């Protein structure tokens, strides 16, 4: 059946039939990556919004003449009275030095630089802690304590993530428009190249829809072929990305959404591209054929 329709207008031998699959492949590749980006960002934003970052950092600023070690013991006692904290870890001085040396260079730390002592607090799962209240409570005992409010910058990060996701959606939309424009152009070109064949078909009484079917099948087939190439390369890239993200040991690293629905959505991209190409080719052909006698 397909042979019957595709053979009449010899579109297979045209230049567009050779380059179009690669254009579709590129479009699908970019669209799948952009969509993956949207899904990753969506999942990350959701996680950040849920407050799943379950650590807080308390800074103890050094005061001249006061033993910081004694203050740490005092701080631990206060923290022990607060509900929702599952673990208190005092960051060793050497670790703090190493953190600063990342910026200043190894061995470049001035000897007298007063480094704050950092204390990592791990919260119990699902337990939200009011950072402001914690700061007030700690400062009532130790005035030189500050608490890093991660929520504030996490909210900003979430806003940024949402903006990026919107940008990625816009990119997917633009890719769709490019597919449409490419198919419109190549269909017009095909009609121009095969003007004689189309005229002959018309003289035999072929309706425009019969001729348009030739173009829509060709566009769909090229879309599917290019889409398959694109999805294979995109899957390889996503897999590589997944491996890299797995190695990132930070609680802020976004998760890779790898459930079945996600894969089904991504796998549908080439099919959707082929459908867009098919419908565009049909509508373009019908519109152009009306101009012929």
CA distances 167 to 85, 104, 193, Å, are 38, 36, 39
Which of 19, 22, 210, 242 lies at the binding interface for other proteins (CB under 8 A)?
210
Nearer to other proteins, 43 or 206 (CB): 206
3-state secondary structure of 146: strand
- The reply to whether 205 sits near other proteins by the rule CB under 8 A is yes
Nearer to other proteins, 16 or 226 (CB): 16
Which of 73, 100, 200, 252 lies at the binding interface for other proteins (CB under 8 A)?
200
∠ CA(201), CA(204), CA(206), 5° rounding?
60
CB of 203 to other proteins, least distance (A): 6
x/- mask, other proteins, residues 49-88, rule CB under 8 A, reads: ----------------------------------------
- The reply to whether 13 sits near other proteins by the rule CB under 8 A is yes
Which of 43, 82, 171, 206 lies at the binding interface for other proteins (CB under 8 A)?
206
Nearer to other proteins, 11 or 256 (CB): 11
How far is 41 from 28, CA to CA, in rounded Å? Answer: 20
Q: What spatial distance separates the first Cα and last Cα of the chain, rounded to whole Å?
A: 28
- The reply to whether 290 sits near other proteins by the rule CB under 8 A is yes
- The reply to whether 7 sits near other proteins by the rule CB under 8 A is yes
The two tokens of residue 271 are: 């099919």
Binding part of the chain for other proteins, among 2-10, 20-28, 132-140, 271-279 by CB under 8 A, reads 2-10
Q: Give me the phi and psi of 52, to 5 degrees please.
A: -75, -5
- The reply to whether 201 sits near other proteins by the rule CB under 8 A is yes
The two tokens of residue 269 are: 């991209």
The two tokens of residue 207 are: 């309706």
- The reply to whether 197 sits near other proteins by the rule CB under 8 A is yes
Which of 87, 170, 199, 236 lies at the binding interface for other proteins (CB under 8 A)?
199
Nearer to other proteins, 206 or 232 (CB): 206
- The reply to whether 4 sits near other proteins by the rule CB under 8 A is yes
- 155: which residues sit within 8 A by CB, 6+ positions away? 48
Of 178, 187, 154, 151, whose CA–CA distance to 284 is shortest?
A: 187
The 8-class DSSP code of residue 116 comes to P
What string of H, E and C letters represents the secondary structure of 217-286? HHHHHHHHHHHHHHHHHHHHHHHHHHHHHHHCCCCCCCCCCCCHHHHHHHHHHHHHHHHHHHHHHHHHHH
How far is 177 from 30, CA to CA, in rounded Å? Answer: 13
Number of residues that bind other proteins (CB under 8 A): 19
- The reply to whether 151 sits near other proteins by the rule CB under 8 A is no
DSSP β-ladder status, 145-148 and 117-123: unpaired
- The reply to whether 111 sits near other proteins by the rule CB under 8 A is no
- The reply to whether 10 sits near other proteins by the rule CB under 8 A is yes
How far is 120 from 123, CA to CA, in rounded Å? Answer: 10
- The reply to whether 293 sits near other proteins by the rule CB under 8 A is yes
Can you give the binding site for other proteins, defined by CB under 8 A?
A: 4, 7-8, 10, 13, 196-197, 199-207, 210, 290, 293
């Amino acid at each position: 059946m397909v042979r019957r329709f595709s053979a009449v207008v010899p579109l297979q031998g045209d230049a567009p039939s050779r380059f179009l699959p690669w254009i579709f492949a590129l479009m699908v590749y970019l669209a799948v990556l952009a969509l993956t980006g949207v899904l990753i960002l969506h999942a990350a934003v959701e996680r950040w919004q849920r407050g799943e970052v379950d650590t807080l950092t308390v800074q103890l600023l050094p005061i001249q003449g006061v033993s910081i070690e004694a203050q740490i013991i005092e701080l631990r006692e206060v923290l022990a009275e607060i509900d929702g904290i599952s673990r208190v870890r005092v960051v060793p001085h050497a670790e703090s030095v190493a953190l600063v040396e990342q910026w200043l260079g190894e061995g470049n730390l001035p000897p007298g630089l007063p480094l704050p002592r950092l204390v990592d607090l791990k919260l119990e799962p699902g337990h939200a802690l009011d950072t402001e209240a914690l700061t007030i409570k700690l400062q009532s005992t130790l005035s030189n304590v500050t608490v890093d409010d991660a929520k504030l910058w996490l909210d900003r990060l979430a806003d940024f993530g949402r903006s990026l996701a919107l940008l990625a959606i816009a990119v997917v939309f633009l890719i769709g428009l490019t597919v449409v424009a490419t198919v419109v152009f190549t269909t017009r070109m095909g009609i121009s190249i095969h003007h004689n064949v189309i005229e002959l078909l018309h003289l035999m009484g072929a309706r425009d829809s019969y001729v348009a079917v030739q173009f829509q099948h060709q566009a769909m087939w090229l879309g599917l072929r290019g889409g398959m190439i694109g999805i294979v390369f995109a899957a390889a890239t996503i897999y590589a990305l997944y491996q890299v993200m797995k190695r990132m040991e930070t609680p802020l690293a976004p998760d890779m959404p790898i459930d079945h629905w996600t894969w089904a959505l991504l796998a549908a991209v080439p099919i959707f591209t082929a459908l867009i190409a098919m419908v565009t080719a049909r509508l373009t052909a019908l519109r152009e054929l009306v101009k012929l006698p």
